[in-house]
Amino acid sequence: MTRQLLVTSALPYANGPIHIGHLVEYIQTDIWVRFQKLVGNRCLYVCADDTHGTAIMIRARKEGRSEEEVIADMSSAHQRDFADFGIEFDNYGSTHSDANRELCARFWQSLRSADLVTERPVEQLFDPEAQTFLADRFVRGTCPHCGLTDQAGDNCNNGHTYSPTELIEPKSTLSGATPVLRESTHLFVQLEKLHAFLADWVDSSDALQSEIANYLKGHFLSDELRDWDISRPAPYFGFEIPDSPGNYWYVWFDAPIGYVASTKQWCEANNEELSDWWNSDQTEVHHFIGKDITYFHTLFWPGMLKTAGFSLPTKVHIHGFLTINGGKMSKSTGTFVSAETYLKHTNPTYLRYFYATKLTPRVEDLDLGLDEFVEKVNSDLVGKVVNLASRVGKFAHSTGLSDTYPDDGGLFKNAATAGDKIAEAYEACDYSRAMRLIMELADAANPFVEHAKPWEMKKDEARQDELRDVCTVALNLFRQLAIYLAPVLPELAKQCGELLGETIVSWDQSKTPIVGTPVGKFQRMLDRVQKEDLEKMIEDSKAEAEESPADAIAAKYNDSDQPLKDEPMSEEITIDDFVKVDLRVARVLNAEHVPEANKLLKLTLSLGGDERRQVFAGIKAAYEPEDLIGRLVVMVANLKPRKMRFGLSEGMVTAAGPGGAEVFVLAIDDGAKPGQRVH
């Protein structure tokens, strides 16, 4: 039965360019959408630029342009970058559109009618020179808890959280002026009135990954839900609230409504009804987002949808962050790479494939290690997939394909059968598993060509029929791989279609071989990626950061007084899972700072006898190295070693606490011996 699917990605903020961290989500979504279309489902992929907020207003002022000019330029740049990475939207809109304004008013009226809106005065910091209220990230000062200077408006580097009004000697980052307290009226949505509905939705629906549901139940739904501040006073770039002059809908109110507005634009252009997509039990709604905006999409947004009478999400697919060589993306190290800079140095196909090998259904960060990137691309795509076609392609142009499919020892049949498992993996967003299954097929297919040696057959006139059979088998096995990889590598699927004269449009094409047709002239499909190109990319990114040190890529997620939390979201485990963890007593033989790292200490641990382990522990804010030397600690001894840019970490030291300076390494009685198991 054909499914009808509405798919969205989080709306990119219109204050800066797309970078490779953003692309994790859009590539993940595009792969899923392409797969759904390939298997015959009706799938609509909508997105839009998120255009409102203080950051846009301030940037426009600094550049001497209107906000509309700024967001128009960024929309063009965003859509260009997405297209360059093969990401195809059915509609790409803007939250600063008539469609979105109209729908915001509709949602707002439903909240008013449900008696969910209240108002009260709020004291905020105000910049007397810039003449604007200051969001958290536009204020810096001294932490009121530990005295650390030059800290952000809502948290310090030692892990303390606070309100911007609590900062000591605050300064506006917009003008350098000392902000003053000023009172204004804010409008709030009383989320607690929706508590029962939200708790039931989180607990009973299949819309959320288990770790997300547990996170929401443990951190938010176990207590009374705070009122959601839904407005901002003038001056503010956004939509003025019709029944509250001088107040504007907060960017996080109109941003998710942008999903519906973008759908509305598509419907109007294609003579369809919005209600068939957002008010129908026949349509599945799938959101793809990063874990940093979980709260908004799993509490605020379902509450808004329910109140306004729109369909609730069928599934919210949440992914982790991107790290580079084991560390956070950083402008100073050149790992904060824009999409445009990446494209100057290497092929977007490589990034699509690498991300696919890393993406799973779980909320996990994924690491882009340059060495691993080079190895996966060159080994898998060039050495296995493309190699299968290139070794026979130059012969097949002259031979064509055999009239009947030759005996291949069951290779084609086995690959056709494997298509069901690969499809299941794509459907579950387990792209990592799908790529493994596909590469297993490539591993099985390549020996066929290697053993047949078509390059030798070409020299023998008596073996041309045999050569045609080998080409027929090899190219059909390659075509199966290209079909299975089509959601990830659409360009390769296009090249395969051009070579064999049949465009790849359906998953079921993998079940039937092509025979008796001519073969086009073989064109080189993919080159090996060179690590030198990636290193040059990093150097160029570093140089760009030095030329433009201001962080132009503003994260609107900090433009909020909402209770965003950084606690890890964990999945429940059983006692059987826990007993796999080998906890051992270890003595700290040496401890030292890691100059390139902000949070890590490098520990040398003894597990008794001659056994030594090197471990990197994120406890720098809590301990001086000399205070740890000689101490007994508990370590996870059977943790898989992790290659970091500072070296190999061969375990984990156990600790507890909220983070920052408040981390406490578990203490062990001095009578314990290194290597002793902890029960």
**CB count in 10 Å sphere of residue 611:** 13
Q: How far is CA 186 from CA 242, 256, 300, in A?
A: 14, 20, 17
d(CA 156, CA 147): 9
Mean pLDDT is lowest, of 498-507, 558-567, 666-675, for: 558-567
pLDDT top residue among 12 and 565? 12
Structure-block tokens of residue 348: 């977007």
Q: What is the pLDDT of residue 1?
A: 86
Q: Give the tokens for residue 576.
A: 């059987």
Contact 488, 431 (CB under 8 A): yes
Please tell me whether residue 298 adopts helix, strand or coil conformation. helix
Residue 64: Cβ-neighbour burial (10 angstroms; 0-12, 13-18, 19+):
exposed
117-188: CATH, from 3.40.50.1980, 3.20.20.210, 1.20.1740.10, 2.170.220.10:
2.170.220.10
pLDDT band at 663 (very low <50, low <70, confident <90, very high): low
Give the chain's radius of gyration (CA, Å).
28
How many residues make up the chain in this entry? 679
CATH 2.170.220.10 placement within the chain: 117-188
pLDDT tens digits, one per residue of 554-590:
333 333 333 332 333 344 455 656 767 888 899 999 9
pLDDT band, very low/low/confident/very high, at 189 (cuts 50, 70, 90): very high
Instruction: Report the alpha-carbon distance of residue 23 to residue 355 in Å, rounded.
Output: 9
- 553, pLDDT greater than 50: no
pLDDT of residue 579: 66
What DSSP line would sit under 218-236, residue for residue?
HHTTTSPPPPEE-EEESS-
Average of pLDDT values for 179-186? 93
Task: Give the pLDDT confidence of 29-43 residue by residue, as tens digits.
Answer: 999 999 999 999 999
Does residue 357 register a pLDDT over 70? yes
Q: What pLDDT sits at residue 640?
A: 81
CATH architecture of 361-511: Orthogonal Bundle (1.10)
Fold held by 576-665? OB fold (Dihydrolipoamide Acetyltransferase, E2P) (2.40.50)
Give the residue, 21 or 600, on which the prediction is more confident. 21
The answer on whether 643 is annotated among ligand-binding residues is no
User: What is the overall mean pLDDT for the chain?
Assistant: 90
When mean pLDDT is compared across 399-408, 503-512, 540-549, 635-644, the lowest value belongs to 540-549
Determine what percent of the chain is predicted with pLDDT higher than 90.
73
Which residues belong to CATH 1.10.730.10 in the chain? 361-511
Query: Is residue 643 scored above 70 in pLDDT?
Result: no
pLDDT for 656 beyond 80: no
User: For position 541, what pLDDT does the model report?
Assistant: 93
Among 3-7, 141-145, 354-358, the minimum mean pLDDT is found in 141-145
CATH 3.40.50.620 fits 4-114+195-224+249-320, yes or no: yes
Q: Where are the beta strands (DSSP E) in 473-582?
A: none
Residue 675 predicted with pLDDT over 90: no
The residue among 38, 104, 26, 18 whose CA lies nearest residue 426 is: 38
137 has a pLDDT exceeding 80 = no
Most confident of 101-105, 566-570, 657-661: 101-105
What confidence score (pLDDT) does residue 35 get?
98
Tell me the percentage of the chain whose pLDDT exceeds 70: 92
Q: Please state which of the ranges 11-15, 108-112, 201-205, 571-575 shows the lowest mean pLDDT.
A: 571-575
The winner for highest mean pLDDT among 98-102, 205-209, 559-563, 643-647 is 98-102
Domain boundaries for CATH 3.40.50.620 within the chain = 4-114+195-224+249-320
pLDDT per position as a tens digit, 217-267: 998 999 999 999 999 999 999 999 999 999 999 999 999 999 999 999 999
Closest CA to 416 of 357, 333, 351, 483: 483
Q: Which of 270-274, 443-447, 627-631 has the lowest mean pLDDT?
A: 627-631
Q: Which residue spans of the chain are classified as CATH 2.40.50.140? A: 576-665
pLDDT, mean of residues 438-458: 95
Query: Among all chains, which residue has been given the structure tokens 């465009």?
Result: 503
